[in-house]
Amino acid sequence: MSAIGGAQRESALINLSGAVTMVVDDSAFALELTGQALMGFGVRTRHACLNATEAMEILKGQTIDLLLVDCEMPGIDGFELVRWLRHSGLEPNAFVPVIMTAAHMRRPRLAEARDCGANFIITKPFSATTLLERIMWVARDSRPFLEAGGYVGPERRFRNTSAPGEERRADMILKRESEAAKAGGQAKGEAA
Partner 1 sequence: MSSPGGISVDTAIARARANLETMREQALQVIEASISALEAIREPTGPGDMSEGREQAYRAATSLIDAAGPFELLDLCRAAAGLCDLIGALDPEQPFDWRIVTVHARSLRLLQTLPAEATRERAHILDSLSEVVKRKLAQPG
Phi/psi region, residue 47 (left: phi>0; alpha: psi -120 to 50; beta: rest), is beta
Beta carbon nearer to partner 1, 156 or 182: 182
Stretch that binds partner 1, among 53-61, 79-87, 127-135, 159-167 (CB under 8 A): 127-135
Among 20, 76, 129, 155, indicate the residue that binds partner 1 (CB under 8 A): 129
Least distance to partner 1 from the beta carbon of 156, Å? 23
- H/E stretch holding 85 reads helix 78-87
| CB 105, CB 121: distance < 8 Å | yes
Phi-psi domain of 42 (left: phi exceeds 0; alpha: psi -120 through 50; beta: other) = left
Q: How many residues bind partner 1 (CB under 8 A)?
A: 56
Residue 67: its H or E element? strand 66-70
DSSP state, 108?
A: G
Among 88, 90, 94, 126, binds partner 1 (CB under 8 A): 126
Residue 133 Cβ vs partner 1, minimum distance, rounded to whole Å:
9
Residue 19 Cβ vs partner 1, minimum distance, rounded to whole Å:
8
Question: Does residue 58 contact residue 49 with C-beta atoms inside 8 Å?
Answer: yes
Q: Min. distance of Cβ 72 from partner 1 in angstroms?
A: 7
- 103: contact with partner 1 by CB under 8 A: yes
| Residues 32 to 91 in contact with partner 1, rule: CB under 8 A | 32-33, 36-42, 72
CB 21 within 8 A of CB 44: yes
Element (H, E) at 153: strand 151-154
Residues that bind partner 1 (CB under 8 A): 2, 4, 8-19, 27, 29-30, 32-33, 36-42, 72, 103-108, 124-129, 131-132, 136, 139-140, 169, 172-173, 176-177, 179-181, 183-184, 187-188
